[in-house]
Homo-oligomer: A and B are copies of this chain.
Amino acid sequence: MARLPEYLRALHNLAETGNETVSSEGLANAAGVNSAKLRKDLSHLGSYGTRGVGYDVALLIEQIEYVLGLTQRRAVALVGVGNLGHALAGYDGFASRGFRIAALLDADPARVGEEIHGMVVRHVDELPQVAAEESIAIGVIATPASAAQRVADQLVAVGVTSILNFAPCVLSVPDGVDVRKVDLAIELQILSFHEHRKASLTGLPRTGGSALTALPGGLAVTEGQEAIGT
C-alpha cells in the first residue's frame, strides 16, 4: 500500500523517542489514519502484532523496510540539475530514507562538470556509462516538460524501471516501467478548488450553488490528508 512509507516514518519517530511497542491506535494517530485501516494494512503483510500489547516497533520497521525493498540502498540518478535539481541534490532526506544519489546528469554543457555537494554533474548522454558503473534503480526527472519524455526514453533504454517525474506532463513508457509524478501546480489547484468550494458555501449559504460548485456529494479528492482533528 501507499501508506506503508507513512507508517514507516511514524515508526522511526516512535523508535527515536524510545518506544518499544506501539498500539494500532497509537501508530494510526501518528500516521494520520484510521486504526482499523492500519490494522488491516499490517495484517496484509503477516501478523506481527501481539494482542493485548501492540506491535513491536523495531520488528515492524524491519518488516516494512523489507516489503518496501529498502534492505538494499537503492541508487538514484537525478536528471536535470536546474532550480529544482539543485534542491533535490542537496536534500538529506534521500540518504536517511534508504536512497543514494548515484549520479547527477544534465544536458547543458555549462552545467556539466559543476560540483554539487561533492558530486560532479555529468552529461546526460553518459547515462549508459553511468548505468554500467552501478545499477540505477530509480531515475528522477527534473528537466523542463519539453525534455521529460526524451529523458524518460533514455532512462528506460539503460534499464531503469522506476521513474519519478517532476515535469508537468504525462510520460509514455513501456509496460513494466513505473512512473510516479509530482506536480506542484496540481496540488495547488486542488487546494484552490477547495478554497473556491469553501468560499461558495459560506458566501451563498442558501442558493444551493451552481451545478459547478456544489456538486452532488462534493468532488472527492483522493489521497487528501484533509482536516485532521485538533
A residues adjacent to B (C-beta < 8 A):
1-2, 4-6, 8-10, 30-32, 44-46, 63, 66-70, 74, 76, 83-84, 86-88, 90-91, 93-94, 97-99, 137-138, 161-164, 168-199, 211-213, 215-216, 219-230
C-alpha spacing A227/B181, complex, angstroms: 12
A220 to B44 CA separation, bound complex (whole angstroms): 11
Determine whether the beta carbon of B177 is less than 8 Å from that of A227. yes
Selected contact of A192 from candidates B70, B176, B194, B230, CB within 8 Å: B70
Q: Give CA–CA (A132, B199) in the complex, Å.
A: 18
A162 near B195 with CB under 8 A, answer yes
Can you report 12 residue pairs joining A to B where beta carbons are below 8 Å apart? A1-B221, A2-B190, A2-B222, A9-B169, A45-B212, A63-B212, A67-B193, A74-B188, A84-B87, A162-B195, A164-B187, A178-B226
Cβ 8 A contact of A137, one of B170, B195, B229: B195
**A44 adjacent to B187 (CB under 8 Å):** no
* Contact B2 A230, beta carbon cutoff 8 Å: no
A27 to chain B, nearest CB (A): 12
Shortest CB-to-CB span from A126 to chain B, Å, is: 23
